Structure 1
Amino acid sequence: MPQLSSLPAYAAITLGSNSFNMLVAVTVAGKPQIIAKYKRKVRLAEGIGDDGYLSHEVMQRGLDCLALFADMLKKHRVNQHAVAVIATATLRVIANADEFKQQALPILGHPIEVISGLREAELIYQGMVATTTGVEKRLVIDIGGASTEFIVGKGRKVLFKTSVPMGGVVFNQQFFNATPFQMLDFSQAKDAVKNILSEHMQSLTNLGWDKAVGASGVVQSVVSVLQHRQVSEVITLTVLQSLRDEILAQSDLLLSDIEGLTAEQAPTFASGVAILLALFELLSIKQLHLAGGALREGVLQVLADKQRVR
């Protein structure tokens, strides 16, 4: 078997509204094997002004992260043709997306592809299937910084998919921007979730599912808190209500007294828990399990398939 370092590497870069991620992989036995992971909480959605433009300060934060990724591409000797750069909700909506893409091009040496919410949902599902065991009908929920994707599928087949404009960073600005937090903040967040999801509720309810799976930031943050406390990693309504009560008892935005919560996770934790609580109640979810992967793993799988064809 050849050494991993001798195999041609490829990289999937995803530019989310909360985090920028990069996975570097090689193909072993026909499947991507990740050799390096990079992640930065850029929180791009924080920089969207009332005029719809991304602030230059936050744009620079994103470009600085891409410069780091570019250095890592060189370190891992990734060929320029073996890179995919995918952007999601924030770059879909900002008025100066072209400016960001133009400035990013000479840094990365590769164009950014801004994908639709439905394409994002497809890739999330592919990433989940590639990394999470099970063949039952599953509801996949991916709560990002500015959008949330819902997919129902069985095996590799997608039965329903949608992307809606709500997320941890956006809800943070709307409902959780000042302490002490109040029950009213959670109630207003739930009303917003209900309103945003209303046109899809019937489809989701009619389809049903055997198991609910959560992907990406918000769910990962909750699970990491549970892991730190050495309790069950399965998210339930009781777990979320308990975390909500802890959040309400905090006096600062850093939520520094919540055991197991890191400073990096804290800024969108309250809004994330609020969205999850609302979804558990509105969709009658009993348990939510963490997926093995999501968008970036889906992009990686597409890239691996292309490398095989080349």
Structure 2
Amino acid sequence: LKIEKFGFKSHFVGNHLGQNNISYYSAWLRDMRIAVIDMGTNTFNLLIAEYSDHSFHIMYSDKQAVKLGQRIAEQHFIDDEGIKRILTTLSQYKEKIKQYLVDEVIAIATSSIRTAKNQEQVVKLIRDRLDIDVKVINGEREAELIYIANQYAIRQCVKSEDVPVLIMDIGGGSTEFIIADGTSALWKKSFLIGMARLIDEIRPKDPVNLDDIHRIHSYLDNMLDSLKRQMSKYLPKVLVGSSGVFDSIVEMIDANVRPLTRNEKCCLIDKNDFSCIYHQILPLSYAERLKYKGLIEMRADMIVVSMILIDYVIQKYGVQKLVVSFYSLKEGVIVEKIMENKKD
């Protein structure tokens, strides 16, 4: 997205400074301002923040449901309706970015676009229509940015004796797992078991039944074989849930079980509290889930399979502690910028 650097000379010739000129001048005195667009399978996220050499401050964030998952899972193709939703959402984001006088825009596309047969056409159309350059990243890079974000976020919630930890980021098109200690990622991988793909593969009933759960477990046993080997090697007992659906888990526990203590980056979750909402959510139909306190509409369709996946990991690998990180890929982009500036 091409945004001019505020035309210093043309705005400051003469003695008169209008309100717009004052705004432009202020922009030169503040920290760098960045906008990150995370283009996921079901949700697009916009994060606008100012960052310095040591930290960043979130100025604005938004998420919009784009629901690209169904055609991607079935045909690896983004249809005309999906493209329309993409352009509408990005057009809204572009207007918001202009309002905040952003210095740099980074737009990142993940599973849905990287696996689409018409990836190049979609990226070109976005560039031609909106002047936004989209970078399509692979699963390895996606997992790396998720790791960077969560390593930064969980310091207040994870003690030195808790490492290594298993970081988990559940998406519509893919799910990332990272095993990390206090200083590095020991292992990371992106799996094509996003919740849209999982629903398309299993086609569970509404509400889900025991047979559906057994079939999901069998599917996960087959798809996550390499995770099983790494878990046996490193034996992490702390699960770090990376934003997204885990944010909803925090809100649901807070609204239906008990108030939670949290900070701006992370939150400790009692496994019994998770189990409580897990057993409350499972028997509910989609219509009933829409009325469940703490659950936003855009996650009501996939919350059941997401929670089955989380419970599967907790039970299969003997997770003893659950931490929710409020950071994910988009924050990882900003943290990486801070790290790069320190090197310079």
Give TM-score, length-normalised by structure 1.
0.89
- Consecutive unaligned residues of structure 1, counting only runs of 5 or more, are none
Quick check: 1:69 aligned with 2:93? yes
Quick check: 1:245 aligned with 2:272? no
Q: CA deviation at 1:226?
A: 0.6
Paired residues of 1:67 and 1:107 also in contact (CA < 8 A)? no
Cα displacement string for residues 277-307 of structure 1 (whole angstroms, at most 9, x for unaligned residues): 2111222223321013121111122334556
* Aligned partner of 1:284 among 318, 321, 324: 318
Paired residues of 1:27 and 1:304 also in contact (CA < 8 A)? yes
Q: CA deviation at 1:51?
A: 3.1
Q: Output aligned runs, 1:253-264, within 5 Å.
A: 253=287, 255-264=289-298
Match in the other structure for 1:155: 182
- Distance of aligned partners of 1:156 and 1:60 in 2 relative to their CA distance in 1, 3 Å threshold: farther
Segment of structure 1 superposing worse, 102-111 or 125-134: 102-111
Aligned length: 307
What is the root-mean-square deviation of aligned Cα atoms in Å?
2.6
Match in the other structure for 2:3: none
Match in the other structure for 1:41: 65
Give the secondary-structure state (helix, strand or coil) at the position aligned to 1:140.
Answer: strand
- Distance of aligned partners of 1:254 and 1:57 in 2 relative to their CA distance in 1, 3 Å threshold: farther
Q: Output aligned runs, 1:1-310, within 5 Å.
A: 6-7=29-30, 8-28=32-52, 30-48=54-72, 50-79=74-103, 82-133=104-155, 134=158, 135=160, 136-175=163-202, 178-229=205-256, 230-232=258-260, 234-235=268-269, 238-253=272-287, 255-305=289-339
Supply the distance in 1 between the matched residues of 2:277 and 2:36 (Cα, whole angstroms): 33
Q: CA deviation at 1:150?
A: 0.8
Q: CA deviation at 1:22?
A: 1.4
Paired residues of 2:248 and 2:294 also in contact (CA < 8 A)? no
Give the secondary-structure state (helix, strand or coil) at the position aligned to 2:289.
Answer: coil
Supply the distance in 2 between the matched residues of 1:251 and 1:149 (Cα, whole angstroms): 28
Moved over 6 A (4+): 2-5, 307-310
Q: Which one-letter code corresponds to 1:185 in the other structure?
A: D
Paired residues of 1:254 and 1:266 also in contact (CA < 8 A)? no
Give the secondary-structure state (helix, strand or coil) at the position aligned to 1:285.
Answer: coil
Q: CA deviation at 1:254?
A: 5.3
Q: CA deviation at 1:244?
A: 4.0
Give the secondary-structure state (helix, strand or coil) at the position aligned to 1:48.
Answer: helix
Using CA pairs under 8 Å that are at least 6 residues apart, name the structure with larger relative contact order, 1 or 2.
1
Q: Which one-letter code corresponds to 2:180 in the other structure?
A: G
Paired residues of 1:194 and 1:282 also in contact (CA < 8 A)? no
Cα displacement string for residues 49-77 of structure 1 (whole angstroms, at most 9, x for unaligned residues): 63321121122112211111111111111
Supply the distance in 2 between the matched residues of 1:234 and 1:130 (Cα, whole angstroms): 16
Give the secondary-structure state (helix, strand or coil) at the position aligned to 1:166.
Answer: coil
Paired residues of 2:253 and 2:274 also in contact (CA < 8 A)? no
Paired residues of 2:169 and 2:243 also in contact (CA < 8 A)? yes
Paired residues of 1:240 and 1:273 also in contact (CA < 8 A)? no
Greater C-alpha radius of gyration: 2
